[in-house]
């Protein structure tokens, strides 16, 4: 029952979160910092009350390790959201972030000296190819979509390439953080809720560096069209309402993933998250009518097929079916 509930939380929370993030970004493309700050503040407040018991509970993992982890987590979160300022379409943003398998494998080989099976290398090659196809097609759209002089076209392309470079850096940094987290959990045991709190609480002072941008967007949000909220009967600027729903759905999404990690095998978690990304992508394309060519669909299909091969879903399904057949044969005997 907990597993079904967690899967519902992941799909409802994460898919809704993507919708409201895109509503925010479409109106104010540079609002990534205020969105990140709001998400961090909300999750930190919840963790301070329910996880640390108002700061009375001591952390199981030394604070010095959290400082390192938090620096990486803060950097990844800010850069991922800030990349949307550089003409990166939301579908490409989601596809690119699906390339975490590539980054994890590369750093796993370099840092942890891991070795993988041929099917794993095949899956990573497919994910890389899929992302490459989608990126190239999006680059062509940047070129053809820019109206103006040749210099303006070049500027638009360089602006977009900077966004791609930011996403690539965030991808590698996220993989490095995952490896660091894995080594900490091996040494001190798994403390996912504690890590969730400190990852969102400790970076909050870092937002002082972004305070002017956050303040400017607070002003812009307050000037947006007011809408009446039925429950409270009060008119609220629509962008603040979108931000509130985005923050709540982000928390629901993270909580769902947390429950899944404690209830299910890592394979199941990966499969659920992958399917969620695919559905979010479809919603973004259909609801917001984002430009998506046949080649984009090919690249997307290759990315998700490669991901499923990596998680060895087919092998697990075959083993489950074989187990059911053997059980039926035993009953027949």
278, pLDDT greater than 90: no
Query: What is the reported pLDDT for 40?
Result: 92
Stretch 319-324: mean pLDDT: 66
How does DSSP assign 118-162, residue by residue? HHHHHHHHHHHHHHHHHHHHHHHHHHHH--S-HHHHHHHHHHHHH
Secondary structure of residue 90 in the 3-state scheme: helix
Report which of residues 193 and 153 the model is more confident about: 193
96, pLDDT greater than 80: no
User: Where do we find the tokens 């039925």?
Assistant: 230
Report which of residues 240 and 7 the model is more confident about: 240
For β-strands 234-237 and 226-229, DSSP reports them as antiparallel
- pLDDT band, residue 26 (cuts 50/70/90): confident
Lowest-pLDDT choice from 46-55, 122-131, 135-144, 274-283:
135-144
pLDDT, mean over the chain = 82
Cα–Cα dist 162/170, whole Å: 12
- Whole-model pTM: value is 0.74
Query: What is the reported pLDDT for 289?
Result: 77
Cα–Cα dist 207/29, whole Å: 19
Report which of residues 314 and 212 the model is more confident about: 212
135, pLDDT greater than 80: no
Contact, 76 vs 173, CB < 8 A?
Answer: yes
Report which of residues 170 and 287 the model is more confident about: 170
Query: What is the reported pLDDT for 104?
Result: 76
Contact, 216 vs 30, CB < 8 A?
Answer: no
Report which of residues 80 and 258 the model is more confident about: 80
Q: At what angle do helices 238-263 and 211-222 cross, to 10 degrees?
A: 120
- pLDDT band, residue 321 (cuts 50/70/90): low
212, pLDDT greater than 80: yes
Query: Which of 6-10, 152-156, 242-246 has maximum average pLDDT?
Result: 242-246
Lowest-pLDDT choice from 17-31, 55-69, 219-233, 274-288:
274-288
Report which of residues 320 and 91 the model is more confident about: 91
244, pLDDT greater than 80: yes
Instruction: Give me the percent of the chain exceeding a pLDDT of 70.
Output: 86
How does DSSP assign 209-233, residue by residue? GGHHHHHHHHHHHHTSPEEEETTTT
- Count the neighbouring beta carbons within 10 Å of the beta carbon of residue 2: 11
In sequence order, the β-bridge partners of residue 234 are: 229
Query: What is the reported pLDDT for 145?
Result: 52
- pLDDT band, residue 314 (cuts 50/70/90): low
Alpha-carbon distance values, 127 to 15, 77, 79, 150 (Å): 22, 22, 22, 33
Lowest-pLDDT choice from 142-146, 163-167, 220-224, 238-242:
142-146
Query: What is the reported pLDDT for 271?
Result: 66
Stretch 222-238: mean pLDDT: 88
Cα–Cα dist 82/77, whole Å: 8
């Amino acid at each position: 029952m907990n597993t079904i509930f967690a899967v519902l939380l992941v799909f409802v929370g994460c898919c809704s979160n993507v919708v409201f993030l895109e509503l925010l970004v479409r109106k104010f493309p540079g609002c990534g910092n205020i969105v990140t700050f709001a998400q961090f503040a909300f999750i930190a407040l919840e963790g301070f009350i329910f996880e640390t018991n108002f700061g009375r509970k001591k952390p199981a993992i030394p604070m010095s390790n959290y400082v390192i982890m938090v620096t990486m987590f803060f950097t990844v979160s800010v850069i991922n959201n800030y990349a949307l300022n550089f003409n990166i379409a939301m579908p490409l943003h989601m596809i690119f972030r699906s390339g975490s398998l590539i980054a994890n494998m590369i750093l796993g080989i370099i840092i942890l000296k891991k070795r993988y099976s041929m099917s794993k290398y095949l899956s990573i090659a497919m994910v890389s190819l899929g992302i490459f196809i989608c990126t190239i097609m999006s680059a062509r759209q940047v070129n053809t979509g820019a109206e103006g002089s040749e210099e303006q076209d070049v500027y638009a392309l360089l602006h977009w390439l900077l966004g791609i470079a930011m996403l690539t850096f965030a991808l590698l940094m996220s993989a490095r953080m995952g490896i660091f987290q894995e080594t900490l959990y091996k040494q001190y045991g798994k403390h996912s809720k504690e890590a969730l709190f400190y990852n969102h609480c400790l970076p909050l002072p870092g937002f002082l560096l972004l305070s002017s941008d956050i303040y400017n967007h607070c002003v812009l949000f307050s000037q947006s069209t007011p809408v009446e909220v039925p429950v409270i009967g009060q008119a609220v600027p629509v962008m603040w309402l979108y931000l509130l729903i985005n923050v709540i759905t982000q928390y629901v999404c993270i909580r769902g993933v947390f429950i899944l990690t404690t209830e299910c095998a890592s394979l199941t978690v990966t499969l659920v998250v992958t399917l969620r990304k695919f559905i979010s992508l479809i919603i973004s394309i259909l609801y917001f009518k984002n430009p998506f060519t046949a080649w984009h669909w090919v690249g997307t299909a290759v990315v998700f097929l490669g991901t499923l091969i990596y998680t060895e879903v087919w092998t697990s399904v075959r083993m489950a079916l074989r187990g059911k057949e053997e059980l039926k044969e035993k009953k027949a005997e």
